[in-house]
Structure 1
Amino acid sequence: MYVKEFIKVPPSNQNMSEVLSDQIRCIKSTNAEKYTFRDETGLNCIGPEAFFHMLARTGGLEQYASKEWVINHYKWIVWKLACYERYYPSKAAGKFFTMSNVLEELKYRYEREVNHGHRSAIKRILEGDASPSLMMVLCISAVCSNCDLKNDTSSVAETGAQNSNATKVELTDGWYAMDAVLDAQLSKQLAAGKLFVGQKLRIWGAGLCGWVGPVSPLEVSRTVSLLLHINGTYRTHWADRLGFCKGVGAPLAFRCIKSNGGPVPLTLVGVRRIYPLLYKERLSNGGSIVRSERMESKMVQLYNQRRSTVVEGIVSEFQRGAKDSNNYNDTDSEEGAKILRILETAAEPEVLMAEMSPEQLTSFATYQAKLEATKQSDMEKAIKKAFEGTGLGEREVTPFMRVRVVGLTNKIYHGKDSPKEGLITIWNPTDKQQHELAEGQAYSVAGLVPINSDANTLYLQARGSTTKWQPLSSQVTEHFMRFHSPRKSVLLSGLGEVPLSSEFDIAAVVVYVGEVFADPHQRKQWVFVTDGSISESRSEELSNSLLAISFCSSDIDDSSFAPVNSNLAGSTVGFCNLIKRAKDQMNHLWVAEATENSIYFLNLDPRPCSHLKNAASLTQKWARMSSLTLDKLREKVLFIIGDCKG
């Protein structure tokens, strides 16, 4: 009889039969290799070494089935058969846990592994032929209660767990075993008894630490460990087959993602909002600054202009000092240097060169080439030093975009709790992600990493090249609750209905663009707009028809900061993702803040702002017929900001 994999039976309340021997009852994975059978006489003990010789007599080659190989497989076979006897006492009745079955199992494993090249999941991972992130089912074979994680800094660092909260367990695929470090939350599950020896786990997205190259599972160091995270580790059915899983597993419900639970192999989300591309620059002082695409473009232009000025200055200095630098001394080029000095002082150097021998010309050309290379090298060093001295070294800029999502909720299992929202930051997004991700579309997403969470929002990170976004078909999306509210243009007359701190979009005509000014922590600019949706019949309504938008930059030293050009006054502009702030009751002004995620458009045809096109047309039409009103509004703005000049 060949039992092809380790089996953990479902929990049972049945009392174990009193006829089970104390030895079988005490067999664990940690001591199974030491178990010995009694021969027919009852006098001789039959252990792993005896089975090694029995396997050799049946054709097993020591080259492949070494003593270590036999001891390893003997251990897992004995533990497995003992589990049969313990959990199925009436059916097993001593028929499973026998010497003949152990030998047959060893022969079967030799046939599979040696003759047919079968390799278990752990063997393939340790030999470098399979990724530990693939989905697999493994069994907890032991808890390493005496392991010292305080010295295992690599494991702790990669799991992100504190020393006191992380635990090591031994996992087996039924053929081999290796250690695994549990993150803090899985360790709590283990301490609470929700994870236990003999339990099978479906593992997806695991890491591997301490591994430096292909190694046999029989020779692997105990410093090599799988890294398990709660977001990718699930309890599975007791009858699931050990080893790698075929196909793709079920996605983790978005609401079940733990903020410090490691990478999320797969989840389902609906996209509510896609924010514009941003650029984060890491500064030399260790800080950083985030810029919009428009501001980054200005920064690149200014940066290149400054570098060009520095380069031109260095090149001019080298050209002026070119004669003084002709002092290259090299024994192989002495003749070339002499020829150069003679030619520099000669009245007719062309005549002298015409009379030179080929050897002299070659020596002169070699010297000139070396001299030019030295000058070029010196100039490059001088330019690099000048860049560093003026703060114009290489910039560390990373593009990213944010996507606001919500977990999908099945209509059948919809409860009272509102679905969990998330904000995903995609670093170095691909062109496909920038142009094909769409608001209102549902996706299955692989490779997200949660970084933080609050009561309302889960914050996650993604890498453009490694995170996969697969759109769900409309047929699949129909099974989930509606999650998307399409963008719409808000009128100033209806701004009171927008909750504080909420996002809104508006199409408005620019009345006045304020000057950029600095406060203690940032540079700021106010822009005042209107849309003509409020009646002019009363004087107070004139102020109520103004919206003041604040643009800020945390880079206090960036004198080029001017997100809105003054020449936009009088233009109709579409603003997206503004944040409503408290109204200025003294001046009867609506107030909004333009954050990093805010953006404005002059051309309202592209997809991100096409919903503002009709409102912009009406506003533009109103502005053409309301020049006097716009003048009054501008005067009102100037009065508010204390500038009474026309």
Structure 2
Amino acid sequence: MRSLEFEFDTPAGDAFGPQQALEFLHSKGAVHVDARWIRNHWLLILWKIAALTRLLPDEHAWRFSSEEVCKQLLYRYEREVNLAQRSAIKRIQEHDSSPSQSMVLCVMAIPTALEEDETPFVELTDGWYRIRATIDKALHRAVQRGRVKVGSKLAISGARLNGSSEPAEVLQALDLSALCLESNAVKLARWDARLGFAPRPFVATLRSLTPDGGLVPCMDIVLTRVYPLAFVDERERGGGEDMSNARGEAQEAEEEEKWHAQQGDVRARIEAKYEQSERTLEQLSGMLYHLASGMDAGASQSYATASQCEDYLDSLLVSSDPQRDASRIPPSSLPAVAQLAAQRSQRSREEMRGQMEAELAAACAPRRSRDFRVVRFEDAGTGPGGAWQGRRPRGQRSVQLTVWDVSKLGEQGLQEGKRYIVTNLRPTQLRSWRKPDDAADIFLSTRRDTSWRLVE
């Protein structure tokens, strides 16, 4: 940028540029910065004081001077080095703050020419450092129309940081990473808005939304209509919801009752199939324990191995007369065989339980229904009596919001006439959207991470 080449003329007739500024700082004991740090802040300070000089031309003599630049550099050194205070962009690049936080950044540069396959981007600043930001189609259109230009301040929420997953030094990171901005999460800020992180999220309005503008981070709304609860079936493997079979609460209750009846019938058939096998082992174990309890205490001890006990038990399981064949087992081996039968019965019971559940799920798959409710709302006013306080008039848009998993919102649910702060909405039915001043519906939907907060 040309600011890096700019030099002031001193009263002695010497040039004062970034190199002289670095020498000045070192002479004042500010030795923990290098030429890169000076060039970054020289650029941003000149940009700032040039804008102030243009706003206040009568103060040109002292404001746009090398003395003012040196004063600003010393101030920044004190804040950043001695007090260890970091700006928003520095904290984001060092991964100590989330890029999704609400913040105000200023557009510092807009490239005039892009490669054919290059994603549109702008260069933003928080007054201390710079960062690139890729923009979506809607923001690119705003740039082309001149709505967003150099010097515009942007109120940003819900941004993402693309690039290296590791923290980076802020001056090196300019070419390594970029914020990812979507227009529904960006609005023009006031000219006097303070740069950096904001204390509260920025609220989008119906008029500001675009169908291709991505996620809507936050809205302040008043519900005007709440439609009855409905249900749909979810498709398998993340295929979304099948809206073609939407049904009301009465139909859902009938479907649920029908499924439980079907599941009961299937479970009874499967349990009957496994019951005989389980009963055989239990009866055999009981018989062996009974025979072992009647064994003469003075009988000679058997040294049957575990393998022999397995063979005894297997022969009893296939025998047509287990009582007769059990009497042929050495009496002193009966306790071991009985214990083995009991262990196998317990293991078989656990295995059969898993097999039964698997067969039940295959024969009568669990229902995958999801509840939802459609609501209508309008932007909440911020003045007395809800009077509209926006800088632009309300648009003519109306909205249908599909609220998923309403049952998770608690007993109160959603109530008409109540005011809510709602986060993380996504546009749907994109081809049905019309312009903000058209009296037509737009369509939004909640996500699993959508949150609702009642405003009393």
| TM-score of the superposed pair, with normalisation by structure 1 | 0.53
CA distance, structure 2, for counterparts of residue 201 and residue 300 of structure 1: 50
* Residues 442 and 80 of structure 1, relative CA distance in 2, 3 Å threshold: closer
**Given the alignment, which residue of 308, 311, 323 partners 1:338?**
311
- Map 1:35-54 → 2, pairs under 5 A: 35=6, 46-47=17-18
Give the residue type in structure 2 aligned to 1:140.
V
Q: Tell me which residue corresponds to 1:117.
A: 84
Deviation at 1:172, TM superposition (A): 0.6
TM-score, normalising length: structure 2: 0.71
* 1:240-265 CA distance string (max 9 Å, x none): 2211223565x555444444444445
- 2:221 is aligned with 1:245: no
Aligned residue number for residue 132 of structure 1: 99
**In 2, are the aligned partners of 1:279 and 1:397 still within 8 Å (CA)?**
yes
CA contact 2:230–2:372 (8 Å) conserved in 1: yes
Measure the CA separation in 2 of the matches of 1:220 and 1:90: 39
1:194-205 aligned at under 5 Å gives the runs 194-205=147-158
Are the aligned partners of 1:407 and 1:420 in contact in 2 as well (CA < 8 Å)? Answer: no
Q: Which protein has greater RCO, CA pairs closer than 8 Å, 6+ apart? A: 2
Say which SS state the counterpart of residue 291 (structure 1) adopts.
strand
Q: Deviation at 1:359?
A: 8.7
The answer as to whether partners of 2:263 and 2:360 remain within 8 angstroms in 1 is: no
* Percent identity of equivalent pairs: 27
Alignment-derived partner of residue 178 in structure 2: 225
Structure 2 distance, partners of 1:190, 1:470, is: 36
> Within 1, Cα distance between the matches of 2:199 and 2:359?
59
Post-superposition CA distance 1:476-529 (Å, at most 9, x none)? xxxxxxxxxxxxxxxxxxxxxxxxxxxxxxxxxxxxxxxxxxxxxxxxxxxxxx
Report the Cα distance in structure 2 between the residues aligned to 1:383 and 1:412, rounded to whole angstroms. 58
1:422 to 393, 399, 406: 399
The residue correspondences of 1:221-370 to structure 2 (distance < 5 A) are 222=175, 224-247=177-200, 251-284=203-236, 287-288=242-243, 289-319=245-275, 334=307, 337-338=310-311, 340-341=313-314, 344=317, 347=323, 355-356=332-333
CA distance, structure 1, for counterparts of residue 234 and residue 44 of structure 2 = 53
* 2:323 alignment partner AA: A
Q: In the alignment, is residue 403 of structure 1 matched against residue 375 of structure 2?
A: yes
Q: How does 1:570-585 map to 2 (within 5 A)?
A: none
The correspondence for 1:461, drawn from 436, 439, 445, is 445
SS of aligned partner of 1:93: helix
**Which stretch of structure 1 is more off in the superposition, 107-116 or 351-360?**
351-360
Q: Aligned partners of 1:416 and 1:224: how far apart in 2?
A: 38
Give the 3-state SS of the residue equivalent to 1:276 in structure 2.
coil
More helix by share: 2
Deviation at 1:296, TM superposition (A): 1.9
- Do residues 72 (structure 1) and 56 (structure 2) align? no
Displacement of 1:34 after TM fit? 5.4
Say if 1:131 and 1:361 are closer, same or farther in 2 by CA, change over 3 A: same
Deviation at 1:270, TM superposition (A): 3.9
Q: Distance in 1 between matches of 2:162 and 2:37?
A: 24
Whether the aligned pair in 2 keeps the contact of 1:203 and 1:232 (CA below 8 Å) is yes
Distance 1:282 1:430, change over 3 A: closer
Q: Indicate how the Cα distance of structure 1 residues 220 and 373 shifts in structure 2: closer, same or farther if over 3 A, else same.
A: farther
Of 43, 48, 59, which residue of structure 2 is paired with 1:91? 59
Give distance in 2, aligned partners of 1:394 and 1:149: 50
The structural deviation recorded for 1:311 is 3.9
CA distance 1:292–1:44, change in 2 (3 Å): same
- Structure 1: runs of 5 or more not aligned: 1-29, 153-166, 326-331, 473-646
Q: Deviations over 1:137-179 (max 9, x none)?
A: 2110111344558466xxxxxxxxxxxxxx3111110112222
Per-residue deviation, residues 161-208 of structure 1 (Å, max 9, x unmatched): xxxxxx311111011222223332322221122221122222344444
Note the residue ranges of structure 2 that are not aligned, 5 or more in a row: 282-304
- The answer to whether the Cα contact below 8 Å between 1:136 and 1:204 also exists between their aligned partners in 2 is yes
Rounded to whole Å, the distance in 2 between the matches of 1:97 and 1:236 is 29
Give the secondary structure class of the aligned counterpart of 2:86.
coil
- Structure 1 residues 419 and 365, CA, compared in 2 at 3 Å: closer, same or farther? same
Equivalences, count: 413
